[in-house]
Structures are given as structure tokens and as C-alpha cells.
Amino acid sequence: MEIRRIIELLRHGTPGESIKVQGWVRTKRELKEFAFLDVNDGSSLQGLQVVVNQNLPEYEQTLKLLNTGSSVSIEGELVASQGKNQRVELVAKAVQVWGTADLETYPLQKKRHSFEFLRTIAHLRSRTNTLGSVFRIRNACSQAIHQFFQDRDFMWIHTPIITASDCEGAGEQLAVTSLNLQDVPLSEDQTVDYSQDFFGKPTYLTVSGQLEGEIMASAFCNVYTFGPTFRAENSNTSRHLAEFWMVEPEVAFCDLQGDMDLAEAFLKHVFKSVLEQCPEDFEFFNLRIDKSVLETADTIINSEFERITYTEAVNQLEKASRKFEFPVEWGLDLQSEHERYLSEELFKKPVIVTDYPKQIKAFYMRMNDDDKTVAAMDVLVPKIGEIIGGSQREERLDLLEQRIVAQGLPLEDYWWYLDLRRYGTVPHAGFGLGFERLVQFMTGMANIRDVIPFPRTPLNAEF
Amino acid sequence: MEIRRIIELLRHGTPGESIKVQGWVRTKRELKEFAFLDVNDGSSLQGLQVVVNQNLPEYEQTLKLLNTGSSVSIEGELVASQGKNQRVELVAKAVQVWGTADLETYPLQKKRHSFEFLRTIAHLRSRTNTLGSVFRIRNACSQAIHQFFQDRDFMWIHTPIITASDCEGAGEQLAVTSLNLQDVPLSEDQTVDYSQDFFGKPTYLTVSGQLEGEIMASAFCNVYTFGPTFRAENSNTSRHLAEFWMVEPEVAFCDLQGDMDLAEAFLKHVFKSVLEQCPEDFEFFNLRIDKSVLETADTIINSEFERITYTEAVNQLEKASRKFEFPVEWGLDLQSEHERYLSEELFKKPVIVTDYPKQIKAFYMRMNDDDKTVAAMDVLVPKIGEIIGGSQREERLDLLEQRIVAQGLPLEDYWWYLDLRRYGTVPHAGFGLGFERLVQFMTGMANIRDVIPFPRTPLNAEF
């Protein structure tokens, strides 16, 4: 008998069909002569209603096993549902119970649980409505990202996770080592003897694949990374993870305008695609988690992003009638409150801020003709602030060398990065997007730990 | 003017079209009154032939800059090519040289380079024919993998890279730490004080996402990982990387038969899809690298995989007329030479060997009724041997606990893995595939370091 996924039955199942479903019992409602089961196989938020009645062989014994959490295969016939919550329901003709779940000890009984509690049972939490919807959206979002880039002839590249350089100078990295920490070998000068380490030198977990992305763009023109990155920031906040996935396109023969166009088209495509693929999950978040997520999606998809320079943004912030906690002054970085003001209050839509002061941006960003600002751009969205950060890269060898030196970084560490400017250099640009921030933004989930299956944060590496 | 990718022009360009291309000059051939350029933008193995003649403004000066490696944007008109190597060529009307490449120092002059040398300039090697083709195939292969699973309603899941457990007991792991190696803090008992480490306990780079995959399959039924994994094996071979990408599907309500069917369909789909997308690159490998890669692809796609038990395989090996280096005896693991004999010589096609002795397989594989073998399966292919390893997982709580204890592993470390068997356990199965091994097999490349952009191996973490 044909095994069917529940989402497909709810959407297209026809009364009269004989089918088989497999999944887990979420609830059981016993009436006098029969019982209703809500069976979920993870394919959709809503489960399939299954009617188990006394025609079933060994009805009484089977019913006892069918508690919340038990796993089943059920064969039967689809009938039109009399309830108004679903089109069809399944009348069971044969039930196989694979595994039971003890009523007393199974942690996911019907009652609600806090997200904090659910994090302690991350091996079971995907069986709840909210986390199930989060991870379906996460998958749809991943696929929308691949589709966007592949349709535009971008190549997915795998940049290294283990790196010997802290090339971005982005701060605290986690070290990777095969040395025995209990007894680290020292050289004669009493420093760590890295010649005995696996890679023969200090190595770390990458904070960005951008510089390697630039290598690949210098051969294939359009590339993107989509992989794990790491930060050892000791920030116990609802927006930080030590391990997260990042998307980083890099495009040869592209300037800042092209970069902004790409970022805007990218966000529109991803929201549109996920909304089309997971309408029920989106509705759920709008109803239960954050009543603005559908409106936000609509704004992303249908509004033209505002584009202003950093200097204009600072002028606007200085004119704002409200007070900010952090100071506003040309030369200082924008804080989250400033970014949100611009996007949420002033323009009421996404805003791309460009041309930031050089001193607050990374060395690789392209110097503008004013010699004060660089060709950077940040995409700001309501509620979140910055969701994408990008720039045109400095492709001129002499200017890049000056910037590296000016920031006190050792030129020799960048020999291959500089080679890209020595041999066939091209104008190029790219951006970075934190994937979990995007899923958080899309779903309205308050804590970033609830949009990744197994979050890694300070003092937490469970599962 | 419309910017076009070269692969698309070579396939569909029409004489008379005015277009613009962007890329890098691979070669320049100067004749008396004009010159031919071979321009490549990374979209295809073959470049576009560009004719530069004296009608071009500043012909002489421009021509001097157009050396191998220089980067250009060229506008012009497509004309039918008189050479037989391409349908169309471009007559340049305007040339912009973005970056030059010094004739003396640019490492990629026309002559051939060894793959060993190219590894030392991994930031430039993607601009060569072979590496360009490798990475186009790598991308096509990645997309074929996503497509295969997404079309079958599998969810892409991101399992953690940093893990506190060595759950597979698979051997040497690389440690992740924020401790100062120069001065590791010790507790009173002189052991490492991990309470001061970032995660508060010893953590490592994952060797497999399988166990977390089982968690997710226990909620969503069909899932797959596709992400980086790590091994600290000190193996300087042409088949080992310390950092590599792995694909690991996990399927609930699936037994070993279903697992084999999935693995076979998977390999067939991936080969078929890549062959369709990258025919030129495949031809190139067949011509220049390994004259059997097209035949191998054909065998994968069109033959029904042989399926035999380990016991039958041992019988066949004992009967073989040839001698093996390693002993053949029931209870010993199959070596690469045995696997290759079965696939290359005996059956001349892929072979799936099932039901291995329990003592040579991992604790999580499902015990067969004979109590001697487990429901494991390895897919063996010509030239490579094992390319996929999988199993049905032990879903019975008591048997799983026995196996964990029998292997001397601490039960308490597996509390959440055992919970999956306590609450709604289901028969389930999955497999693992080393992505680089697949690309190596597909292309015939001799060294695995040449199918990943930036290989990590003992004493090597450059770029």
C-alpha cells in the first residue's frame, strides 16, 4: 500500500483512497465507541486526524498503546472530514505500533512547555508545533538560497573551516588543536611547540569564508559560500551563537550598486519562496509568535529598499525627535537602535546604508574618492537592524597594502590575498548574511537558540 | 550592453549579436594584423575566442596589456567562427583591461604545471583547465545531491560541528578550545580546568552528524546532512583529508532494503545529473585524466547494483584465483583490494555487501536474528572500493544498551540517543558518503587534495 506524507494528504488527499501513513501520535481523544488520534510525520504543522474504532482487530489493546509520543504505521481509507479543521481524515483498518511512550516520563505531554525547557530536550523538541515549523522554514529557506544563486549561475563553494589565519581580524576565534592540553609541549623559548600540532602551526575555526570566496570569484566570477562559521564572543544574548551558518556571495566585475541590487533581489526571492512553500508555518508564526511576520514578509517582497549614505543617515538621526541611548556623530558606528529607527520608524521598510567612514570598517573595503569613506553597505530591516553587511572590495594593490599596514596587520600574512590584486585584479563585491538571523527575522522567534537544531553558546555544547 | 557568460555563448550564441563578456585572458596569439585571445570566465572549460584587430582604438597599447592572466571586459559582435573548435567567436570593438599580469612573475603561464605545484598556489589554480573543471563538477554534484533529497521531501539539517561527545567512537578528533595553550589552567588535581574553557567541558570537531541526524529523523522522517566533518588521522595519503564534506541521509520507518534502494537511486541520480550538466568537463576528464570515467558513469547509471552478504563475499574471495595481500577470513574486515576485486573483477559493477560481523561494525547497527551479524551495508565501486557505508540502526532499547556496554562505552553519555528508543522508537536507517571521494571517483583525479578548494591535511592549513 502506498505510503503518503501527511502534508500531501491534507492538501490533495481524496476521499476513498486507501493509503498508509507513518508518524507519531501527538494526541489521543477517546470517546465511547471510538477514538481520534492526531498523527504527525513532521511534514506539516497540522497532523492527520485518524479515527480508530471497534472494527479494528484488538481494538482495546491497541488503543492502550497509542499514547502521545508513540510511533505508528496506519493503513486505512481516507474519508471526508466532518470537522472543519481538515478536508480529510483517515479511518484506520490496520495499526502497527512500533514504539510506545510512557505517559509518566515522556517529557512532551500535551501541555505547553517554555522554549527554555525545550532547549534542555533538544533531542525531542522538533516534535513540537513551533520547533517543527521553525525547521521546515529553515529547510525551505536553505533551498531558496541555493535556488537563487544557482539560477543566476553562482557556484556553491566550500571554504575551509579550519584556518591558520585570523584574516578578517574579526576578533575572538576558537583554536583547533591535536596537542594534549594536559601537557602542552613547549619549545626551548617556552612558547607552545606548534611543530607537534596536527597542522604544524596555530589553527582556528573560521569566522568568514570571504577572503577564500574572493579567490574563487577571481576564477569563476560568481560564487557563494553557505557553511558554518564561528565566534568565540562570550555573549549570552538572544542574538548570538558560537556556531552559526553564513551565506557569503562574492561577485567579480561587480561594484557597490550591483552588490546592493543582488542583496535586495536575494532577500525578496528568499521571502517569496519560503512563503509559497510553507504558508501554514508562516500563518502559525503570525498567529502564535509575532503578529507582524506576515506584514514584514510583505514589506520585504513588495517595497523598494531605501538607499541612503551613512552621512545622510547620521543627518536623519540627528534630526530625529526621539532620544537615543548611544550617541550619534559622524565617525561613530550605528547602533541597533539607530538602525531600527531608520528602518522601522523613518522609512518603514528596509534601508541600505552605504559609504561608511573607513575607520569603522574592515581593511578590505574599497576606498572612496573622498578618502574618508569606503564602499560598504549594510541592509537594515525592522526589528533586527543589520541583516546583511557587504562591500565592494579594494582591488587596487597599492591602496590595499596601505590599508593593511594602517591597521597594523602583517602584510606577509596576506601574500595570496594581495596576489589576487597582482594578477588580473578585477572590481568585485560581496556580502555576508547570518543564516540564523534570517530565520529568526522570518519567523519572529525571540531567541536565536530556537532556530538552530543544536545551539552552541558559552558553556553549552549539548547533544 | 548585455553581459553574457561564455558557456552560454558557446552553446547558444548567434552570429550578429552585440554582447559583452568579462573574464581573464588565458592565451594571446599575435598575428601580423590582428591577435586571437582565449578569454575564460570560469563558466566553461573552453574559452571564447576573441579577435582583436587594428580597428580597435589604441590597438598597440591595449595589446601589450593583454597578457596571460590579465582581466578584461570586451564588447563586440559575435561572428561565425572559421576555426572548427567553436561555433562563434567575438570580434572586439572595445576592450577594457582591469588588471594586468606580469609575464615574468605570473605563475600560470601557458606551460603545464604539476598538481603538486598547483597546490602551493591554490589561490590561482582554479584558473587552470583541470581545477576549473573539478570545481564546476563539484558544484553540479552538490546541487544534484540537494535536488535528489529535496525532490523526495528530505529536509536538509545542520548538525553541530562542535561536539562534546565522541559518540561514534570513530577515533581521533581535533579539539576545540578557547584556553590559552601557553598556560592551560589546571584544577587542584592537576587535570585541565575545563570550567574555564568556552564550553565548560572538552569539545571536539565532529566526525559525523549521524546521531543528531537520527534525532531529526525521529521528528521529520526524512532528513540529510551535507556539511563538513573532521578526522585527525595522521594519514598522508591521496585519499585522506582532515576536513571534508559528508552527506548523511537518515530515514525513519526504513529498513536495510530501503536503505540500499536509496543509496543506489542516489548514486544513479547524481551521476546522471552531473553528466547532463557538465558534459564538456566530463569529456575532458575522460580524455586527459582517466580514460574510464565516462564508462564508469555509464555503469553506475545503467547497471543494477549487485547485492550480496558479507558471508557470500568472503566465500567468493576465498574462491578467487588471485592472491590478496591481506588475509580473507570470516570475521575480518574487507580491505580495499577485496572490495575492488568484488566490484572491478568479479561483478564488474557496483556491489552492495550486507550483514557484516557485529565485531567489526559500530555499536548502533541493528543486530540480525543470527546474533552474529548486523544490518550494515557498504556500496563498493570500481577503483575506489567503499564509497558509501550505511546501516539500519538498532531501534530496540535493550539491545542497544547491551551493545554500548559491550563496547565499553559509558551508557550515560548516550542518554538522549537512548531516549529516542524510549519514546516512540521507529525502525530507521541511513548512510554516509564522503563527498570528496565521490568527486574524486567521478573525475578520476588521483589525489583527493585536488578536488577540494583548500585541502587540510597533516601539517597543511594554508590559505
Q: What is the pLDDT of residue B167?
A: 57
pLDDT tens per residue across span B76-88: 999 999 888 889 9
Mutate to test the interface with B, among A423, A428, A449 (most CBs of B within 10 A): A423
| Res. B292: pLDDT tops 70 | yes
Set of chain B residues whose Cβ sits within 8 Å of the Cβ of A250 = none
- Residue B78 Rama label (left phi>0; alpha psi -120 to 50; beta): beta
Contact state of B227 with A232 under an 8 Å Cβ cutoff: no
Residues A249, B376: Cα–Cα separation, whole Å: 40
The answer to whether A215 contacts B160, with C-beta atoms less than 8 Å apart, is no
Contact between A203 and B454 using a beta-carbon 8 Å cutoff: no
Q: What integer pLDDT is reported at residue B111 of this predicted model?
A: 76
At residue B375 the predicted structure's pLDDT band, cuts being 50, 70 and 90, is very high
Q: Which residues of A touch B219 (CB under 8 A)?
A: 24, 42, 124, 126-127, 132, 135
Closest CA to B389 of B429, B332, B344: B429
Distance CA A78, CA A21 (A): 11
Amino acid at B139: N
B412: pLDDT strictly greater than 80: yes
Q: How confident is the model at residue B171 (pLDDT cuts 50, 70, 90)?
A: low
Estimate to the nearest angstrom the gap between the alpha carbon of B242 and the chain centroid. Answer: 13
CA distance A17 to A158: 46
A217 or B166, greater pLDDT: A217
Q: List CB contacts of B183: < 8 A, sequence separation 6 or more.
A: none
Instruction: Please list the residues that pair with B388 across neighbouring strands.
Output: B379, B433
Cell numbers describing residue A70:
508513540
Please say if the pLDDT value at position A59 is more than 70: yes
Confidence of residue A1 (pLDDT cuts 50, 70, 90): confident
Question: Cβ-count burial of A61 within 10 angstroms (0-12 exposed, 13-18 middle, 19+ buried)?
Answer: exposed
d(CA B418, CA B431): 20
**B215/A123 CB distance under 8 A:** yes
Using pLDDT thresholds of 50, 70 and 90, give the confidence band for residue A82.
Answer: confident
C-alpha span between A349 and B341 (Å, rounded): 64
H/E run at residue A275: helix A256-277
Q: What is the pLDDT of residue A372?
A: 98
Chain A residues whose beta carbon lies within 8 Å of the beta carbon of residue B143? 146, 150, 156
Task: Categorise residue A42: left if φ over 0, alpha if ψ from -120 to 50, beta otherwise.
Answer: left
Task: Name residues whose C-beta falls within 8 Å of residue A176's C-beta, 6 or more positions apart in sequence.
Answer: A162, A198, A199, A203, A204, A205, B174, B175, B176, B205
Looking at the complex, report in whole angstroms how far the Cα of residue B341 sits from the nearest Cα belonging to chain A: 34
| Cell numbers representing residue B359 in the block | 565485531
Instruction: Write out the DSSP string of B259-291.
Output: HHHHHHHHHHHHHHHHHHH-HHHHHHHHHHT-T
C-alpha B143/C-alpha B273 separation (Å) is 9
Alpha carbon separation from A375 to A2, A148, A343, A407, A451 (Å, rounded): 57, 24, 20, 17, 32
* Least CB–CB distance from B181: residue in A123, A184, A419: A184
- Picking from B44, B181, B251 by the largest number of A CB atoms within 10 A of its own CB, the best residue to mutate is B181
- Whether residue B344 is predicted with pLDDT greater than 90 in this model: the reply is yes
**List of residues 6+ apart from B311 with CB closer than 8 A:** B330, B355, B373
Nearest to A198 among B102, B161, B174 (CB): B174
Tell me whether residues B162 and A242 touch, CB distance under 8 A: yes
Question: A287 exposed, middle or buried (CB, 10 Å; 0-12, 13-18, 19+)?
Answer: exposed
| Distance from C-alpha of B213 to C-alpha of B159, rounded to nearest angstrom | 7
Are residues B148 and B292 in contact, defined by beta-carbon separation less than 8 angstroms?
no
Which residue, among B389, B439, B362, has the nearest Cα to B170 in the 3D structure? Answer: B362
Residue B170 predicted with pLDDT over 60: no
Task: Check if CATH label 3.40.50.970 holds for domain B126-172+207-450.
Answer: no
Note whether A426 contacts B98, CB cutoff 8 Å.
yes
Q: Cβ B426–A458 below 8 Å, yes or no? A: no
Gap from B85 CA to chain A (nearest CA, Å): 22
**Predicted pLDDT of residue B329:** 97
The C-alpha atoms of residue A363 and residue A394 are separated, in whole angstroms, by 8
Helix or strand (DSSP H, E) at B29: strand B18-30
Cα(B207)–Cα(B229) distance, integer angstroms:
5
- The torsion angles phi and psi of B155, rounded to 5 degrees, stand at -100, 130
Cα→Cα distances B228→A142, A453, B244, B456, Å: 16, 16, 5, 12
> What pLDDT is recorded for position A166?
66
**Confidence (pLDDT) at A376:** 98
Q: Which residues of B touch A245 (CB under 8 A)?
A: 158
With DSSP H G I counted as helix, E B as strand and the rest as coil, what are the percentages for chain B, rounded to 5? 35, 25, 40
Residue B309 has pLDDT above 70, yes or no: yes
Looking at the predicted structure, is the pLDDT value of residue A168 above 70? no
Give strand ranges (E) for A118-221: 155-156, 162-163, 175-177, 203-205
| Residue B417, min C-alpha distance to chain A (Å) | 8
Over the stretch B205-227, which tens digit does the pLDDT of each residue have? 999 999 999 999 999 999 999 99
pLDDT score of B169 more than 60: no
Q: Does position B408 have pLDDT exceeding 70, yes or no?
A: yes
Neighbours of A3 (CB within 10 A): 13
Check residue B264 and give its pLDDT.
Answer: 98
B18 phi, psi to nearest 5 deg:
-95, 120
Query: Residue A435, class by beta-carbon neighbours within 10 Å (0-12 exposed, 13-18 middle, 19+ buried)?
Result: buried
Cβ <8 Å between A199 and B460: yes
The shortest C-alpha distance from A25 to chain B (Å) reads 9
Question: Number of Cβ pairs closer than 8 Å across A and B?
Answer: 314
Distance CA A163, CA A160 (A): 7
User: Which chain A residues have a beta carbon less than 8 Å from that of B41?
Assistant: 220-221
Residue type, A401: E
Q: How close B345 comes to chain A (CA, Å)?
A: 35
B146 to chain A: which residues are within 8 Å by CB? 143, 146
CB contacts, 8 Å: A175 with chain B = 176-179, 181
Torsion, CA A395, CA A397, CA A403, CA A405, rounded to 10? 150
List CB contacts (< 8 A) between B24 and chain A. Answer: 219, 424
B contact test, residue of A2, A181, A457 with most B CBs within 10 A: A181
Please name the member of B25, B155, B425 whose beta carbon is closest to the beta carbon of A135: B155
Residues of B in contact with A199 (CB under 8 A): 242, 456, 458-461
pLDDT of residue B168: 57
DSSP code per residue over B61-102: HHHHH--TT-EEEEEEEEEE-SSSS-SEEEEEEEEEEEE---
The CATH code of the domain at A6-99 is 2.40.50.140
The CA-CA-CA angle for residues A443, A445, A451, to 5°, reads 85
Q: Kindly report, residue by residue over B28-84, the tens digit of the pLDDT.
A: 999 989 999 999 999 999 999 999 999 998 999 999 999 999 999 999 999 999 888
pLDDT score of B337 more than 80 = yes
CA B59 centroid distance within chain: 45
DSSP classification of residue A267: H
A126: chain B residues, CB-CB within 8 Å: 215-216, 218-220
Q: In the sheet where B162-163 sits, what is the strand order?
A: A162-163, A203-205, A175-177, B175-177, B203-205, B162-163
Average pLDDT on A430-456 reads 98
Residue numbers in B near A460 (CB within 8 A): 199-200
Residue with cell string 504558508: A279
pLDDT at A383 over 80: yes
Segment A225-256, tens digit of pLDDT: 999 999 998 888 999 999 999 999 999 999 99
- Between helix B210-220 and helix B415-422 the angle, nearest 10°, is 30
| Contact check, Cβ <8 Å, B424/A218 | no
Residues of B in contact with A232 (CB under 8 A): 178, 198
Of residues A143, A176, A253, nearest to B150 (C-beta): A143
Domain ranges of chain A: 6-99, 126-172+207-450
3-class state of residue B367 by DSSP: strand
Q: Which of B454, B460, B462 to mutate to test the interface with A (most CBs of A within 10 A)?
A: B454
Average pLDDT for B360-383? 97
Torsion sign over Cα A157, A162, A167, A173: positive
Count Cβ atoms below 10 Å from residue B20 Cβ, excluding itself: 17
Q: Are A182 and A174 in contact (CB under 8 A)?
A: no
